[in-house]
A and B are shown apart, each in its own frame.
Chain A
Amino acid sequence: MTVRRLFGLGLSLWVLLAASPSLAVVETTGLTVEQESRAAALYGQLKCPVCKTQALGASTTFLAEEMKAQIRDMVRLGASDQEILQHYVDRYGEWILLSPPVHGSGLWAWLVPVAAALLGVFGAVLWLRRRAGGGPDDATVTEALSGDERRAIDALVGD
């Protein structure tokens, strides 16, 4: 009985230890590793308000650093990703999101790469087909010509 209890205690301790990386708290920020990576992912979805064309995570300006600290606070308090992003959209507008909006002029940013890729594939297929059908060596051409064709050409050339 006691042996089984000890075994059970050992097992639960082992499970706890094995799971500990996700429970570990990053000392400087007070966030778990999982929360920290969520915050970092959010830095990548927002723009730095000072530089405007750079991701928040790539910026070290005073406002960007404070926004990152604020995001960590909100993550710690249990806000969802959507709530956090909306918090900044409400204050700055939609342009603060790094991904362009899927409407208005932002739609082009989503459609253009797809259209370019499709056009590229279409062009490549066209080019490959033309190359395969249009550029065989002389021998095959001569062989492929029927007697009538050969005669017609000879007649024209000899003209």
Chain B
Amino acid sequence: MYNDSMRDVTGDTLPDRVVPPRRRWLRWLPLVIAGGFFALFARAVMVPVADLPDSPLLGRSAPGFVLAPLEGTAPVDSAAFFGQGRPVVLNFWASWCTVCVEEAADLERLHLEDGDDLLVLGIAIQDSPADARRFARRHGMSYPILLDPQGRSGIDYGMLGVPETFLIDREGIVRHRFIGAVTAAQVRDALASLGQAVSP
């Protein structure tokens, strides 16, 4: 009939606090709770790229722009090709962008093979005309290219970086966003899923 709690009260020498073994896990409870809180908070604040919600532009009319062409002088108004019966593959790129090299050939192939059914349109973002021209020649880009030295057309499309490509349907509605290098197959698949497939 002699137990720890009594010894404690009567003042016998004992360690400061005796924790019964079954309660020992409770010591870690604050740490576990804090860790749980931290994880919840981090989840709420961080937006991983893979989890980025779709562009809010999808399903809406493509934002318009008036930009200078790489070849020629008269400013080009996007109203001339949005909603004019042909889907538009709008590609934001830059000569200083290394990933843009990967997709240049595919975009050119789309232009050459499906050019009757769709329009491939490039916008060189924050580039000098000379650099953009050099890049376009080196990679044999023959589709029309516009220049946006400031890059505001990209901001209007909610651009995250270059390259980024938007698929605009025949009615001028934004249907798809491709982040990073795009392939001809991806564009064709997306068009097919819209029911606006290019003729084989």
Contacts and interface: CB of A to CB of B under 8 A. Distances in A.
Contacts of A91: 56-57, 63, 155-158
Interface string B42-72: 0111110100111111000001000000000
A92 interface: yes
Interface string B100-134: 00000000000000000000000001100000000
A52 interface: yes
Chain A at the B interface: SS class: helix
B113 to A, nearest CB: 32
B10 to A, nearest CB: 6
Interface residues of B, number: 38
B41 A113 contact: yes
B171 to A, nearest CB: 20
Given A66-B150, A157-B2, A157-B6, A93 B37 contact: no
A63 B152 CA distance: 9
Interface of A: 49-50, 52-53, 62-63, 66-67, 69-70, 89-95, 100, 105-109, 112-113, 115-116, 119, 123, 138, 141-142, 153, 156-157, 159
Contact of B47 (A52, A89, A138): A52
Q: Which of B30, B44, B52, B157 has the most CB of A within 10 A?
A: B44
B6 A116 contact: no
B41 A108 contact: yes
Contacts of A115: 37
Smallest CB-CB A-B distances: 9 pairs: A109-B44, A108-B44, A138-B11, A91-B158, A92-B158, A112-B41, A95-B47, A108-B40, A66-B151
